[in-house]
Amino acid sequence: MTKWLVARGEDALLLGLTAAGLALFIGPLLLGPAFPQPVVLFSTLVVVSALVVVGVALQTHRLSTRLLAVLAALVAIDATLRLVIVIGLLGFSPIFFLIIAGGFVMGPSFGFAAGALTLLLSAVLTAGLGPWLPYQMLAAGWVGMGAGYLGRVTRRSISPWAIGVLCLYGTAAGFIYGLLLDLWEWPLLVASGSSPLSWVPGAGAAALLRRFGGFYLASSLAYDTFRAAGNLVLIAVLGPAVIRALDRFRRRFLLDWAEPVPAAEQAPAKISADVGTPA
């Protein structure tokens, strides 16, 4: 019962962070360029959220301090990969592979922190600081978080069907990441009413959806397809080996905390009245 409540508490925290993050993506659709963009504030909130999630996972023993070193190593490696390939090949970037693999093995809290902190560190290394940063951090964090929940469902299996499901997830994540970032930038970076594909204030949901669909198909679909295909190929080729290695770290560094079982008390021995006592 205690473990169930602990898991639900972690899930509730991640759900709350997701709801708050979605408000940042939906806000520009409602307010357009009037939506405030305090980059430092939003980025700081995402970082604090990631640290809080990790802290809760530590307190509930879903992570250990040694696994934090694994998290730091994955973030550093991933950020370095993005430094080498800043934009990637027509949208493909290798950074999502380690975010997905790490979340799949270590859990949703680890995955969220890995995605958010990787994008932050890579932005610092590549001078990629801008109004897009907190949105990139949130979207990448959700990619890792979703992989963590998928790992729970499949029990971190590396069987062919589990890897196949993870490949499908990586493919979908490649498109969803791009959709989320387009959802934010569309009302802010495209002049209002400048074309049939631009955001228009006061338009109904159907009109906005039609305009956004045209904008996405014209500007981002091909780019996101390369990202999705790259995720699929990396997971299919390298996924089993990397997941096996990360799971070895997890089993070695994560203690299984259990409630102590009280020892059964022995009944006091009874001495028969017929037994005589020594003089």
For residue range 90-124, list pLDDT tens digits in order: 667 889 999 999 999 999 999 999 999 999 998 88
At 201, is the pLDDT very low, low, confident or very high (cuts 50, 70, 90)?
Answer: confident
End-to-end Cα distance, the chain: 57
Give 121-125 contacts, CB < 8 A, sequence gap 24+: 121/75, 121/76, 121/79, 122/78, 122/79, 122/82, 122/83, 122/95, 125/79, 125/80, 125/82, 125/83
* pTM for the structure as a whole: 0.84
The DSSP bridge partners found for residue 92 are 89
CA 10 to chain centre: 13
List Cβ neighbours of 188 (8 Å cut-off, separation of 6 or more): 28, 32, 33, 35, 37, 131
Q: Classify the C-alpha dihedral 27-17-136-144 as positive or negative.
A: negative
